[in-house]
Amino acid sequence: MSDASKICKVAVAGLGTVGVGTVRLLQEQADLLEARCGRKLVVTAVSARDRTRDRGCNLDGITWFDDAVEMARSADADIFVELIGGSDGPAKASCEAALASGKHVVTANKALVAHHGHEMALVAEEAGLGLAYEAAVAGGIPVIKSIREGLAGNKIRTLHGILNGTCNYILTTMRETGRSFDDVLAEAQELGYAEADPTFDVDGIDAAHKLAILASLAFGAKLDFEGVYVEGIRHITPLDIEYANELGYKFKLLGIAEDCGNGIFQRVHPVMVPTDAPIASVEGVFNAVVTEGDFVGTTVMEGRGAGGGPTASAVVSDIVDIACGRITPTFGMPAKKLVEKSTLPMDSHSGAYYVRLSVVDRPGVMADITAAMRDHEVSLESVIQRGRDPGAPVTVVLTMHETSEAAIRGALEEIEKLDAVKEPPRLIRIERFQD
Ligand code: NDP
Ligand code: HSE
């Protein structure tokens, strides 16, 4: 029998994909959670916009609030769970109100954490309250806890990951079925993977929010979302997917963070990875995070990165920690000790590249292109030209050995000016990982 004074009361703001998943998990696994926490976890209050909508979960006896900020202030709750979304607006206001009124905060909101996590952590830590966000990165994979606690003995120099389930689902399905980008995106939205505004997914912003959070945790650095270089997947065409296949690569949208001592790289962009690289086998809505620690070496975590069940699993893990009194510094060390690390510019990145050109099929064109490469000290690895159509544009695909981004961009600037080049060159980075 639980002692009523020991009950841990939970208020949930937002009853969409994740909110409903969380309420259902707390209700359906109530006995298991009580055994694990040594106290009951009870949802006492909820908030969403439309009170009349059937949510598909049992809300009997739970106090309804139309206003999430009012619920954060006045609900009878120990923990306020924010599952509304958005970096500002009611999500931010309600979390601030909850902390101000002495409630722990759990959120799945990476936009909020990436933009305001540092200030919120300062407030929470000053007040001795938890601010937990396991669900904000990689859905159901316990990556925050793994880096913050499991890898606490290591200096992490680099990490990379598939951080957006929607993009991975789109790239996988486009490759497997040949269906269009728009068609597959609509399906990902129906499945509840995509953000309310899916441009955040396909333009790489959601993955950038997550990468900034991971970089802060891994490197003991102050969050620097503005320092993330971001490119999305809209420009990936079936033609590029076909060439990647022919060259032995798959497309992935990766987030990559690296602490180089003199600054950090934080970058999110599509990459071509060898089909036999471990990360290439992470398909569909699955996410994966790979870290390199100085004592542990490589660790790989993989699992479902989006959807109601997996994300609720991560939200509830934070609720359980707080209910058990396991309140840790938000970013692995007190927020006031996090240091500012400067961002290294993409021009200083070095790697291999794929370039696709549309050029007029006539003698001497390849000589002009390779001359520009030579002048910028870019070393060519392979060339593919398909078909023969004298005087008309044909596709030429080049891959480059390791070179600096400044050099390849300099060469492409010259190549684009050639009158035989009919479209802006398409540049895609290749990451081999096993090098
Ligand atoms: P949904 O759009 O499905 O749900 C959002 C909910 O917030 C809705 O129930 C909506 O109410 C409610 N809401 C909106 N405005 C207010 C307000 N002013 N006051 C109270 N409630 C409000 O979003 P998701 O469940 O998909 O996402 C929630 C959060 O979880 C986001 O931060 C998202 O980034 C994050 N996340 C989502 C994942 C996923 O797979 N979907 C995975 C990992 C994180 P109503 O229903 O009445 O319109
Ligand atoms: N829209 C996000 C994704 C949800 O597709 O990964 C999980 O954060």
CA dihedral sign, ordered 348, 335, 81, 70: negative
Separation CA 69–CA 2 (nearest Å): 30
Summarize the confidence of residues 214-238 as an average pLDDT.
96
Residue 322 lies in a domain: no
Q: Which of 143, 144, 166 to mutate to test the pocket of ligand 2 (most atoms within 8 A of CB)?
A: 166
Separation CA 188–CA 258 (nearest Å): 30
- Domain membership of residue 12 as a residue range: 3-136
Are residues 236 and 109 part of one domain?
A: no
Are residues 174 and 152 part of one domain?
A: yes
Residue 342 lies in a domain: no
How many A from CA of 228 to the centre of ligand 2? 18
**What is the predicted pLDDT for the residue at 391?**
75
pLDDT digits (tens, 9 = 90+) for 270-315: 999 999 999 999 999 999 999 999 999 999 999 999 999 999 999 9
Residue among 341, 49, 392 nearest 218 (CA): 341
Summarize the confidence of residues 132-149 as an average pLDDT.
97
Are residues 109 and 184 part of one domain?
A: no
- Going by alpha carbons, the residue nearest to atom 38 of ligand 1 is 306
Are residues 171 and 86 part of one domain?
A: no
Number of domains in the chain: 3
Are residues 152 and 93 part of one domain?
A: no
Strand pairing report for 286-293 and 297-304: antiparallel
Please report where in the chains the tokens 């500012």 appear, as a residue: 340
How many A from CA of 42 to the centre of ligand 2? 27
**Residue 52: helix, strand or coil by DSSP?**
coil
Instruction: Tell me which amino acid residue 144 is.
Output: I
Which CATH number belongs to the domain containing residue 372 in this structure?
Answer: 3.30.70.260
Are residues 410 and 293 part of one domain?
A: no
Residue 337 lies in a domain: no
Which CATH number belongs to the domain containing residue 31 in this structure?
Answer: 3.40.50.720
User: Does ligand 1 have an atom closer than 6 angstroms to the CB of 124?
Assistant: no
**Residue 42: helix, strand or coil by DSSP?**
strand
Residue 116 lies in a domain: yes
pTM of the model: 0.96
Q: Is 110 annotated as a binding residue?
A: yes
User: Does ligand 2 have an atom closer than 6 angstroms to the CB of 139?
Assistant: yes
Residue among 231, 196, 202 nearest 108 (CA): 196
pLDDT digits (tens, 9 = 90+) for 53-77: 999 999 999 999 999 999 999 999 9
Confidence grade of residue 4 (pLDDT, cut at 50, 70, 90): low
The token pair at 125 is 């830590």
β partners of residue 159: 257, 291
- pLDDT of 1 > 50? The answer is no
How many A from CA of 17 to the centre of ligand 1? 7
Q: Is 195 annotated as a binding residue?
A: yes
Which CATH number belongs to the domain containing residue 223 in this structure?
Answer: 3.30.360.10
Q: Show which residues are catalytic.
A: 210
From residue 47, give the alpha-carbon distance in Å to each of 23, 75, 99, 131, 386.
Answer: 12, 10, 17, 19, 58
Separation CA 311–CA 420 (nearest Å): 51
